Chains A and B, each alone.
Chain A
Amino acid sequence: MAQDAIFADNLTYRYGNLVAVDHISFSVAKGEILGFLGPNGAGKTTTVKILTGQLKPKEGKATLLGMDVAHNIERVQAEIGVCFEETNLYQRMSALENLNLFARLFDVKPFDGYALLKRVGLAGREKDRVENYSKGMKQRLMVARSLVSQPQILFLDEPTAGLDPTSSEAIRNIILEERERGATIFLTTHDMMEADKLSDRVAFMNQGKIVALDTPDNLKQQYGKRALKARVSKKDGKLESREIDLDTPQTADAVQGLFKKEKVVTLHSEEATLEDIFIKITGRRLTE
C-alpha cells in the first residue's frame, strides 16, 4: 500500500436508496494509468468525486498518496488535477486568464501559462475568450487546466468524448507524456479502444461494483476467445468465412485441413475487444 498512489477500501455511496458505488476496493500504483470503464450510471463519476474529495463516502475510505481524503482534503487537492467530463471553464475569460487563476489558487510560482497552452496546441489563441473556442479547444484547455500544478495524480473524466480525431490524439499524447513524467492517471471512459491503447490496467464497473480489474491482455486472455478467421473461395467463385479456435488440441489439424481442402484467400487472427469482454461479464454494452 505504501507505494500506491490511490487506495480505495470498501467505498460506498448512496443517493437516497440508490447505491451508486457499492463497496468497491482497488489500488492504483504510482505512475500507472488505470482505465475506469463502465456504461453511463455505473458509478464512475461518483467514484471520482469521492476520490477527489467532492463527496464523502457513506462507508469505506479513500487514500491518495497515503493521505486519507476525508481528513486531509486540502493537502490531497494540492496534489491532484481533475479534468471534468462537462466543460466548466470561465467562458468570459481568456484561456490564459483561466490558467493564471488556477495557478494562483494552487500557488504555482513561477507559472508559464503560455508554455502550457502551447503544449496543448492553443498557442496563438491564448488571449481569446473561451466562449469563442470550439469544443475540441475547450477540452484541450480543460486538460491544460488540470496540469497547472503538475499534479502527482491526474483524474481525467471522459477527456476525449465527442472530440475530433486530431484533438483526441493530442489529448492521448499528453496523457502518455504525463505518465512519462511520473504522474498517476485515473482515466474514466467508455471508449474501450482508448482504454485499451492507454491503460496499464482497466477496471470494469457495473451497477456500482467493480466486476473485473486487470491488464487488458490478461482480461482478453481470461475472458476472450482467440481464433483464426479465414476467407475461402468456392468453385463457383463465391467467398465463405471459416473460423478456427486457437485454444483447442485440434487447432493444428484444423489449420492443416483448411489449407488442404480449401482455397484460402485471406487469413488473420482475431482477439476479443474490451467491449466483448465487458459484454461477456456483465451482459451489457459499454455504450448503453
Chain B
Amino acid sequence: MNLGVIRALVAKDFALFFRNRFYAYISAIGVVFYLIIYFVMPSSVDEELDIGLYAPVLPPAFELIQEEEGFNIVPFDSDEALKEAVTDGTYYAGITLPADIMEKFASGEKPLVTLYFSTNALDELKGAVETMVRELAYLQTGQTLAIDISSEVLGPDMLGEQIPIRDRMRILLVIMLVMFEMMGLASLISEEVEQGTIRALLITPMSARELFTAKLVMGASLAFIQGILFMAIVGGLNHQPLITIIALLLGSALFTGTGFLIASLARDMLSSMGWGITALLIYAIPSFGIMFPGIITDWAKAIPSYYLADAMHQASNFNAGWGDNWANILILLGFNIVIIWGGIMALRRRFQ
C-alpha cells in the first residue's frame, strides 16, 4: 500500500468535493443548520404532568388528588373524552373511576379503576399514578387492597426516561448530517465513473485497493469530522466520549460503504441523491425510535444504524459504559465489514 498515492487521491477527492458548490454549501450550512435545530429545541423537561380524571362520583378521599405534587389533575366529562385526550397525546395519563365506586366500597367489594396511559408515558409515571390511586383508596377505606386496577396503554407503549427532546433528537441530527456526506461521496464516485476519470486512474500503477482505501479514508473522515464537531458542540461528548467517538467513526465508515453501494447504482448526482435519500430514511429510523420510544420494535435491529444510534444514545444520554455498549460496537463493526466489502465488490463491477 503506497501512502503517497492514497494521500494524493484523498487530497484530490477533498478538492473536488469542495469545488462542487452544492456539497460544499451543504457541508458548511448543514452543521450550522443542525446546530440551530438542536439549540432551539427545549433544553428542559416539564416536571408538572397533566393527568385527566373522569369521576362520575368522587369519593371524599379522592378530592385530595388535586393536592398531589407534580400532577395537574384535569376533570373530564366522559370516559370517551378522556380516552381520546390520552390517545392523541394531550395527556400522559387518565384515571376513570367507576360510577358505583362508593357502593362497592360500602359493600366491601373492590371497584375497578381504569388507568389510561399515552404511548409516550414513562414507566415511572405509570408506577406513580398507580401508587397514587391505591393510596387514595386506602385513605378512603382503610384497607390496603381496596381496589382493582386495570391499566391500558392507548397506542404503542413507549419506554424511556426524562431526557430533553433535543438530546434525543441530536442522535437523529448527527446521523442526518453524516449521511449527507455519504451522498456527496456517492455522487463524487459516480461522477468519476461517468466522466471516465476512474479509467484514467486505473491504468496507473496504483492498485484498486489503494483507490478504495483512499475513498474510504476521504468519505469516513469527512463524515466523522463533521459528526464529531457537531457532537462536541451540542454536548454529546460529555459522557463516555470514547464510546461515542468509536461509534461515530464506525458509523462514518458504514455510511461510506453505503456510499460505495449507492455509487455502484447511481448514474449521476441526481440519482445519487435519490438513492441516498432512500438510504438516509432507512438509516434514520432507529433515531426516530430514540426520539419517540416505543414507535419501533425489534425489527429495527436489522438496520445497521440501530447499533450506532443506540450506542451514542446510551453513552451520551445515559452515561452507559462499555458493559452496556460492547455488543452495539461489535455488531456495528460486523455490519461495517459486510457493507464496506459489498460496496467495494459492487463498485469493482461498475468500474469494469
Contacts and interface: CB of A to CB of B under 8 A. Distances in A.
B12 A88 contact: no
A84 B15 contact: no
B197 A54 contact: no
A90 B12 contact: yes
A16 to B, nearest CB: 15
Contacts of A78: 205
Given A78-B205, A88-B195, A88-B199, A107 B16 contact: no
B19 to A, nearest CB: 4
Contacts of A82: 200, 203
Chain A contact residues (Cβ within 8 angstroms of B): what range?
20 to 34
B228 to A, nearest CB: 28
B204 A89 contact: no
B20 A92 contact: yes
Interface in A70-120: 74-75, 77-78, 80, 82, 84, 86-93, 97, 101-102, 104-107
Contacts of B197: 88-90
The bracket for how many chain B residues form the interface is 20 to 34
A52 interface: yes
A77 to B, nearest CB: 5
Given A92-B16, A92-B20, A93-B16, A105 B205 contact: yes
Contacts of A57: none
A77 B206 CA distance: 9
Contacts of A35: none
Give the interface SS of chain B, mostly helix, strand, loop or mixed. Answer: helix
Contacts of B2: 107
Interface centre among A53, A91, A93, A104 (most CB of B within 10 A): A104
A39 to B, nearest CB: 22
B12 A77 contact: no
Contacts of B4: 104, 107
Contact of B201 (A52, A55, A74, A105): A105
A89 B205 CA distance: 18
Given A88-B196, A105-B5, A93 B203 contact: no
A80 B204 CA distance: 8
Contacts of A53: 203
A90 to B, nearest CB: 6
Nearest to A129: B19
Contacts of B270: none
B207 interface: yes
A91 B19 CA distance: 10
Contacts of B20: 92
Interface string A48-63: 0000111100000000
A162 B203 CA distance: 24
Nearest to A142: B200
A84 B20 CA distance: 25
Contacts of A54: 199, 202-203
A98 to B, nearest CB: 9
A105 B203 contact: no
B5 A104 contact: yes
A95 to B, nearest CB: 14
Interface in B263-322: none
B198 to A, nearest CB: 8
Contact of B205 (A92, A93, A106): A106
A77 B16 contact: no
9 contacts: A54-B203, A77-B203, A88-B195, A90-B16, A90-B197, A101-B12, A104-B4, A104-B7, A107-B205
Given A88-B197, A92-B20, 15 more contacts: A53-B203, A74-B206, A77-B204, A82-B200, A82-B203, A84-B199, A92-B16, A92-B19, A93-B19, A104-B8, A105-B5, A105-B8, A105-B204, A105-B205, A107-B5
Interface of A: 52-55, 74-75, 77-78, 80, 82, 84, 86-93, 97, 101-102, 104-107, 145
- In the A-B complex, the 10 residue pairs with the smallest Cβ-Cβ separation, listed nearest first, are A88-B196, A104-B8, A78-B205, A105-B204, A92-B19, A74-B205, A77-B205, A82-B203, A88-B197, A88-B200
